[in-house]
Amino acid sequence: MSLDFLVVLAQWPMLLKGLALTVLLTAIAAPVGSGLGIACAWARLHGPSWLRVLVGSYVELIRNTPFIIQLFFIFFGLPALGVKLSAETASILAMVLNLGAYACEIVRAGIESTPPGQIEAAKSLALNRWQIFFRVVLPPSLARVWPALVSQIIIVMLGSAVCGQISTEEISYAANLISSRTFRSMESYILVTLVYLGFAVLLRQTLNWAGPRFIFGR
């Protein structure tokens, strides 16, 4: 039983290409999914009752089914309705919808924990509903739930490994390819797993730096 990592490392262009796509998928899905989550949280708290039911159903459906099935449904199932998507688009869509549902609940908890005095003060200053939501309620809410939201983004990033199953050429797909080419399965998967681990750490640190800086000012 000998492990030969060099053979696998020789395939670094393929690994890099795969990593780039993983990063890209995450870079698009994270903000769009979070934005969807914020919109859904608002809808669940302040929307008309039909919208609340719709959003609630969406959230429960996503949270109680596996991501791989959501992905398969979008990529394989939607063409039956005439909606044919590329593997990358299907992956991004599935990741966005998945993150959106979890982010909805996370952000909703943050919004609900807003001290009522904040809203009263904002009302007394004659701010309208949208101004109160975006300028007074949302930033501190995001600050409160930031660790949970970041964790969820990382979960979705790790879950994107499954997208290789529909031939999206992200890094787990690269691992499969390299494994079958070099016959060095363990080395390929160990290496790619370490890359995921490293990216997860980097992503968490980046988001923890970016959040206070750009989104909620502290």
As given in the structure block, the two tokens for residue 208 are: 């923890």
Residues that bind other proteins (rule: CB under 8 A) add up to a total of 61
Which runs of consecutive H residues, i.e. helices, occur in the chain? 5-9, 12-46, 49-63, 67-72, 87-112, 116-124, 129-131, 138-159, 171-182, 185-210
Question: Tokens 């997208």 appear where?
Answer: 163
The 16-55 site mask, x for binding other proteins (CB under 8 A), equals ----------------------------------------
| Secondary structure of residue 80 in the 3-state scheme | helix
| Sequence-ordered list of residues with C-beta below 8 angstroms from that of 135, at least 6 positions apart, any chain | 122, 127
| Secondary structure of residue 99 in the 3-state scheme | helix
User: Would you count residue 65 as binding other proteins (CB under 8 A)?
Assistant: yes
| Secondary structure of residue 164 in the 3-state scheme | helix
Identify residues 107-136 at the interface with other proteins (CB under 8 A): 115, 117-118, 120-129, 131, 135-136
User: Would you count residue 6 as binding other proteins (CB under 8 A)?
Assistant: no
User: Would you count residue 140 as binding other proteins (CB under 8 A)?
Assistant: yes
First to last CA, the chain: 52
Interacting span for other proteins (CB under 8 A) from 4-12, 34-42, 47-55, 60-68: 60-68
By beta-carbon proximity to other proteins, the closer residue of 167 and 185 is: 185
Question: Tokens 């003060």 appear where?
Answer: 121
User: Would you count residue 63 as binding other proteins (CB under 8 A)?
Assistant: yes
Cβ 160 to other proteins shortest distance, Å: 8
Question: Rounded to whole angstroms, how far apart are CA atoms 153 and 151?
Answer: 5
Identify residues 151-210 at the interface with other proteins (CB under 8 A): 154, 158-162, 164-165, 172, 175, 185-186, 189-190, 192-193, 196-197, 200-201
Cβ 128 to other proteins shortest distance, Å: 6
Among 91, 57, 98, residue whose Cα is nearest residue 72: 91
What are the residues binding other proteins (CB under 8 A)? 1, 60-61, 63-70, 72-73, 76-81, 115, 117-118, 120-129, 131, 135-136, 139-140, 143, 154, 158-162, 164-165, 172, 175, 185-186, 189-190, 192-193, 196-197, 200-201, 216-218
